[in-house]
Amino acid sequence: MNLHEYQAKEILAKYGIPVPPGRIAYTADEAKQIATEFGDTVVIKAQVHTGGRGKAGGVKLAKTPEEAREKAGQILGLNIKGFITKKVLVAKAVDIAKEYYAGLILDRVTQRVVLMLSKEGGVDIEEVAAERPEAIIKHAIDPHKGLRPFEARELVKRAGMEGNLNKLAQILVQLYHAYEGIDASTAEINPLVVTASGDVVAADAKIVLDDNALYRHPELSRLREEEAEHPLEVEASNYGFAYVKLEGNVGIIGNGAGLVMYTLDLVQRVGGKAANFLDIGGGAKADIVYNALKVVLKDPDVKGVFINIFGGITRADEVAKGVLRAMDEGILTKPVAMRVAGTAEEEAKKLLEGRPIYMYPTSIEAAKAIVAMTGGAQ
Amino acid sequence: MSILVNKNTQVLVQGITGREGAFHAEQMMKAGTKIVAGMTPGKGGQMAQGVPVYDTVKEATHHHRIDASIIFVPAPGAADAALEAAHAGIPLVVLITEGIPTMDMVKAVAEIKAMGNVRLIGGNCPGLITPGECKLGIMPANVFKRGKVGLISRSGTVTYETAKALSDAGYGISTCIGIGGDPIIGTTFKDLLPMFNDDPETEAVVICGEIGGSDEEDAAEYIKAHMKKPVVGFIGGRSAPKGKKMGHAGAIIMGNVGTPESKLAAFAAAGVPVADTIDEIVELVRAKLG
């Protein structure tokens, strides 16, 4: 789960990391009001769940309250990569002397949380990593010891960061405390700013939470914003499905993440494009299949559905019953290609006899058929 | 022969009194697994599936020789359950539970690896099976026939499909291990390849990988340097967009790490042919084994 910048900064502040004073505005007038209270130059930043806000015109400086009103008015409502800006952060502008990067990520290779530091902050760190990996210092943190102050100081020196060594190191230690305390999967400060007066502040922050651990943090799971996700992803998650909206027109339903991914690959291989990823999980009954069809068919891009089930615990006749119910209720009016291997395959065939649902013996044949039925290879 | 488990493996089921634990204990017994004890804190002294239930793993190991434990404990207590098994001296621990908090796994895997004498498989995995001898997992045993191909996979259903295809084609499976779809897991492909290398029954190995991480690249490095037996590869999620989590928490492309291109290149450099479909896996095995 992604947090907004202002939410991330509130968490950092709770852990003692200095952030510039700032408040959220939903209207241009509120932005003006906040700027008046600060009585200083402010930066107005779109709060949307995507990167590249600056390039899209979602971040602007304002020297006066009136300018703040005007700039906030330009940013509110702005469409940034498909996300409509509904609120802006109005924060006191910082007097930047140096811009650094500090980030904690989960690293699969070391199987630890890795601290990354760079004195080249304020830019896209993935670009730095790709172009000049030597500009980034990495340190895998022992999960049972955490990040100790002496390690943090050594890392600050190694990264060549200038400024108050103790303040910089303390921020790194606190960032790890925050990461562990809220069960994050990513926590980044970019830029970590050393101001002209020598203070160190987190001028921007990004936090992604570990979904598996949200049950431990009810106060954070309340921050979930349904409008930030695709509405179909929200509906699917309410049914307990793993669902990802994609760009194509073939709806996909399968059991098991690996099989669904494979099904997407097959559709692409025969020239089609999947409209979604949907995993119904193991042992699904008719009503689950029916609900999955409801979600998939709500997507106006979907021209047909490919149901690919490996029957271990899932029974093919249950799948067929779910499909027939969707058809009888008029929800399902598009072509369906089914491939259901294993348990109760014969019973399923009997149920589907005389109905316009096509069953195929292999995944690849079903993929070819549904791509042909939805407009052919593109 | 086989690897990790065989007909003599004595098994403890942690969480045997829960719905999942009870169902799968029964299924495992039907597949020939020697389950000798169960464990659920607070349920000690009861019987479940015909075996005694203990409050702690240590009590179970005190009364029985336990070679392996399989865990069906809900996510909040799953990593703790794995540590309990490891500290009781059980050499093989299979963690089936999905949705375990990542930091719990980071800590548990670090601790178990430091112990050096415990093999953790999973979490979020289907487990492992030596067909006809021991099933330590949740896979449908009926699609696995005994044979000569070692199978390692990051997914569940793709594993079953592949096992079925290899079994139907007459090759069969020596041992199959589903290593799990999470970013932090106890055992990776490269940990298992040396065991298959040394197993006389295994004549070829199939690796079903997927996007995300670099386990396939690490495996390719080992294969290039050490593998004496033919290996066939498969990569799931090749059409997935970057940055989107495809069901498995581990199946996500971050920047330039975890891309199918990188995995295909690594397999190619190690001389591992990669199948585009599951049927093609069988064809590639046929080309190697005849």
For residue A186, list chain B residues with Cβ-Cβ distance below 8 A: none
Q: B149 and B54 in one domain?
A: no
* A198 in a known ligand binding site: no
Q: B217 and B273 in one domain?
A: yes
Q: B283 and B215 in one domain?
A: yes
Residue B153 to residue A244, Cβ atoms within 8 A: no
Judging by DSSP bridges, how do beta strands B68-71 and B92-95 pair with one another? parallel
Tell me what the mean pLDDT of segment A287-314 comes to.
89
Residue B157 to residue A274, Cβ atoms within 8 A: no
Beta strands in chain A (DSSP E): 22-25, 42-46, 59-62, 79-80, 83-84, 88-92, 96-107, 112-118, 136-141, 184-195, 200-202, 205-209, 242-245, 250-254, 276-279, 304-311, 336-342, 358-359
pLDDT at B255 over 90: no
Interface test with A, best of B152, B157, B161, B242 (most A CBs within 10 A): B157
Give residue-wise pLDDT tens across range A40-79. Answer: 999 999 999 887 888 889 999 999 999 999 999 999 999 9
Q: B144 and B103 in one domain?
A: no
Q: Is residue B28 part of a domain?
A: yes
Rounded to a whole number, what is the distance in angstroms from the first to the last CA of chain B? 21
B247 pLDDT tier (thresholds 50, 70, 90): low
**Does the CB of B241 have a partner CB in chain A at under 8 Å?**
yes
Q: Note whether B44 and B55 are within 8 A (CB).
A: yes
H-helix or E-strand spanning residue A295 = helix A286-297
Greater confidence (A90 vs A127) lies with: A90
Q: B149 and B104 in one domain?
A: no
Boundaries of domain holding B87: 11-122
CATH code assigned at B48: 3.40.50.720
**Across-strand partners of B204?**
B149
Q: How far is CA A20 from CA A6, A52, A194, A205, in A?
A: 10, 21, 12, 11
Greater confidence (A278 vs A128) lies with: A278
* Catalytic status, residue B248: yes
Domain boundary among B122, B147, B173: B122
Domains of chain A, earliest start first: 21-92 (3.30.1490.20), 96-222 (3.30.470.20), 230-374 (3.40.50.261)
3-state secondary structure of A245: strand
**Can you say how many angstroms the Cα of residue B226 is from the centroid of all Cα atoms in its chain?**
22
Q: B250 and B190 in one domain?
A: yes
Interface test with A, best of B24, B98, B103 (most A CBs within 10 A): B103
Q: Is residue B39 part of a domain?
A: yes
Entry field: residues in chain B: 290
Q: B144 and B270 in one domain?
A: yes
- For residue B87, count CB atoms less than 10 angstroms from its CB and return exposed for 0-12, middle for 13-18, buried for 19 or more: middle
B250 pLDDT tier (thresholds 50, 70, 90): low
Q: B210 and B108 in one domain?
A: no
Q: Is residue B132 part of a domain?
A: no
> DSSP code of B161?
H
Phi, psi of B18 (to 5 degrees): -80, 170
Token reading at B45: 């002294």
Q: Is residue B3 part of a domain?
A: no
For residue A126, list chain B residues with Cβ-Cβ distance below 8 A: 255
B127 pLDDT tier (thresholds 50, 70, 90): very high
**Does the CB of B164 have a partner CB in chain A at under 8 Å?**
yes
Q: From CA B67, how far away is CA B51, in angstroms rounded? A: 16
> Model's pTM, two decimal places?
0.89
Q: Is residue B267 part of a domain?
A: yes
Tell me what the mean pLDDT of segment B34-55 comes to.
97
For residue B211, list chain A residues with Cβ-Cβ distance below 8 A: 261
Per the structure, the count of domains in chain B is: 2
Q: B173 and B118 in one domain?
A: no
Domain boundary among B122, B151, B166: B122
Q: B158 and B56 in one domain?
A: no
**Across-strand partners of A311?**
A342
Greater confidence (B184 vs B250) lies with: B184
Please tell me the predicted confidence (pLDDT) of residue A377: 59
pLDDT at B242 over 60: yes
Phi, psi of B122 (to 5 degrees): 95, -165
A228 pLDDT tier (thresholds 50, 70, 90): low
pLDDT at A313 over 60: yes
Token reading at B78: 């799953």
Q: B146 and B284 in one domain?
A: yes
Q: From CA B239, how far away is CA B167, in angstroms rounded? A: 28
Q: Is residue B130 part of a domain?
A: no
Q: From CA A236, how far away is CA A60, in angstroms rounded? A: 37
> What is the pLDDT of chain A when averaged over all its residues?
90
Q: B161 and B101 in one domain?
A: no
Task: State what percent of residues in chain A have pLDDT above 90.
Answer: 66
- The angle formed by the CA atoms of residues B190, B191 and B197, to the nearest 5 degrees, is 80
pLDDT at A338 over 80: yes
Domain boundary among B74, B93, B122: B122
CATH code assigned at B208: 3.40.50.261
Please tell me the predicted confidence (pLDDT) of residue A81: 81
